[in-house]
Chains A and B, each alone.
Chain A
Amino acid sequence: MKKAMVFALVLVCCVSVFAQAQAESGSKTITMWVSGAGAQVDAMKAAVEAFEAQSGYTVEFSAPGETYEELMKTKMAANDLPDVFDTHGWSVDRYGEYLMPVNDLDFFANVSRQIIPTISNDKGEALVLPFDMDLTGIVYNEDVLAEAGVDVDSIKTWADFEAACEKVKAIGKTPITLGASNGFTVGWLYDRIAPSFYITDEANSKAADLKNGIFDEAIWASISAMIDRWVSNGYFNADVVTGDFVGDITAMATNQAAFDFIQNVAIMMAGGINADAHLGMMPIPSNSASDEPTLISGENVALGIWKETKAKKGAIELLNYLAQPEVAATIAAATGNVPALTNVKLDLGAVQKYIDKHAAVEAYNYFDRDYCPSGLWDVICAAGQEVLAQKPNAVQNTAKQVKDSFDALYGN
């Protein structure tokens, strides 16, 4: 018995010493997690592999896909984060307390002034290396609109937009395609419409109220009422409630639908389905004739360093490497977005002419990120599904639901 105990003790000591040795050598190993999928992750992975080959560091790269946010929340709760991770639009509100400021790092001088406020906390500390900035509106199909006799440049207000939808419907095509079974598509719809109701009309702006935790439920009900009217008028695809994101892009690529409330990357993805598809991007209409159409902007792919990382030196080297113009360009190009580093020059192909065309249009950050507490996104998506499904009293009930959740998350 005694011999067995001594053996067990020795074994435990050996394991501990081995583990300690591993931890000490861990400084040459960097853990890195990124969100998203497809071309964006492939580009990041290729860049990281090139860094490994050149630097001698080992990067444990992970892209968990749809479960990224849940896993990251679990890791934050355990205070055990990857050394480097993607903040996907939430560098300040969600991940802020776990990130190391990057103002003093080499690449910071090249970060676009436009995005610095979005990625900085109240103390002026920038928290991430941003690769691209969303600059997007509504994606449309040029051929379908031409067939319906719609001049896209004449769409200034939601009333104009509805008139265009009527014309598209008249030729037997789907005016708006949306796949609400992927809840995020519903969130994108509300994110695009909400600023024109709450923010962009300066005379009636509720921006200050929202920042102070005051949510106007009646305005939200107006947005939902408009969407409900679109459903009643038959502007959406027949399977709007159960359709999916891939179906949306396919409908746009195959000239079955006219409008899609989606990011510019859809234009590139549609090209992969049908090389002859002609998709464009237009500004988001305003709610009143006295207001102007706008665009949505904001942080997209951005990497931060965990402030308690044991691999700080390696993580900084990795970010500096990825921020080099030729490397950062490959990552930004995969998203179809405007580069967020001033020394990165990039031709976005099919998307570029629309970015240039609308360069003078005012852009606002994503509504839920800028004016709502973290966590409301999920409520917006689910509430929007109820509106699209036209449940009884959904317009009023869901407006109350969104307000209650806003208040609860805000701590009111």
Chain B
Amino acid sequence: MKKRIDTINLFYVPALVLFALFVIYPFFKGVYLSFTNWNGYSRSFKMIGLKNYVNLFKDKNVHRAFANTLVYGVGSTVIQNALGVLLAVFLNKKFRGRSLVRTVIYLPVMIAPLIMGYVMYFFFNYNRGAINDVLKLFGAAPVDWLASGNRAVFILTLVNSLQFVGISMVIYLAGLQNIPSMYYEAAEIDGIGVKQRFFYITLPLLMPAITSSVTLNLIGGLKLFDVISALTGGGPGYDTHSLSTLIHKYYFGGERAGYASAIGLVFFVFIMFVSNIVVKALQRRQVEL
């Protein structure tokens, strides 16, 4: 028996080696680099102690990117889940064309976020943008939608949410279909209304699905990168950067790889912390069927 277990344990080795090579080693290398002034390509650099960590707490661009990251993360999670539940409840009912509607809502998920960003550029562009063309039809003046940082952050959150709302919808549909019909039948006999059924039966029993969907959406939103790169490039200035795009900009464009590593490490700790809190909070509210 012991020999068999030893043999089975050997099968872990390739995975562990790959994990060590592509995750553990780069992680500790990143920690080391965060204490240096490395520019990202030169063979010479020096240790500068905690200077990068001190600077990042004073850097307004990091503060702005941090705030934006929270907006992208929390905003996308709220919009995707609220819309996802409503769509799932609606599409859980039988009606003609239901599969087509489900497919249409899910379709944008299959487009790469980078491509989605470029597509959206043609909607929000000042000169040749679809939205301004519609405004012009009604005699309104065109708007430079992405010229204001705050508005652009909202637009990016919306684009990301609408692209991935299909994932939440599918998770909630699966969750809804796992709720036994006897609860609804009993509620109907007791004369409980639609609103109460939703809040006292559907929502509590959807908690496992909510946990999965919220965690996925939150992490996805916090890591938002591609659509920002395609739609605004983080601009104007640094106004729409998330921490991910700012790290990329500082690392490659700004040639401050050591500093970018320090930001990355703090960001990693932040995401881990937030994700754990959210998962634990949601798991506590789950109800056994």
Seen from chain A, the residues whose Cβ lies within 8 Å of a Cβ on chain B are 69-70, 72-74, 76-77, 79, 94, 97, 180-181, 183, 238-239, 241-243, 247, 374-375, 377-379, 382-383, 385-386, 388-389, 391, 394, 397-398, 401, 405, 408-409, 411
Contacts and interface: CB of A to CB of B under 8 A. Distances in A.
Q: Which of A79, A238, A239, A401 has the most CB of B within 10 A?
A: A239
Given A239-B126, A389-B239, A409-B39, 18 more contacts: A77-B40, A77-B41, A77-B257, A238-B126, A238-B142, A239-B144, A241-B146, A241-B235, A242-B144, A242-B146, A375-B255, A378-B249, A382-B237, A386-B237, A389-B148, A389-B149, A397-B60, A401-B61
A389 B237 contact: yes
Nearest to B39: A375
B237 A378 contact: no
A389 B43 contact: no
Contacts of B40: 73, 77
A382 B240 CA distance: 12
B235 A382 contact: yes
Contacts of A408: 37, 55, 256, 259
Contacts of A386: 236-239
B252 A73 contact: yes
B253 A375 contact: yes
Given A97-B43, A238-B144, A180 B254 contact: no
B42 interface: yes
A180 B252 contact: no
Contacts of A374: 39, 255
B147 interface: yes
Contact of B42 (A76, A379, A391, A405): A76
A180 B255 contact: no
A359 to B, nearest CB: 36
Interface of B: 37, 39-43, 55, 60-61, 125-127, 142, 144-149, 232-239, 249, 252-257, 259
Contacts of A72: 41
A183 B233 contact: yes
A79 B43 contact: yes
22 contacts: A73-B252, A74-B41, A76-B41, A183-B233, A238-B126, A238-B142, A239-B127, A241-B144, A242-B125, A242-B144, A242-B147, A375-B39, A375-B256, A378-B254, A382-B234, A385-B236, A386-B237, A386-B238, A386-B239, A408-B37, A409-B254, A409-B256
B43 to A, nearest CB: 7
Please list the 9 inter-chain residue pairs (A to B) with the smallest Cβ-Cβ separation, ordered nearest first: A375-B255, A386-B237, A378-B253, A76-B41, A239-B126, A389-B236, A241-B147, A73-B41, A385-B236
A75 to B, nearest CB: 8
Contacts of B147: 239, 241-242, 389
A379 B249 CA distance: 9
Nearest to A378: B253
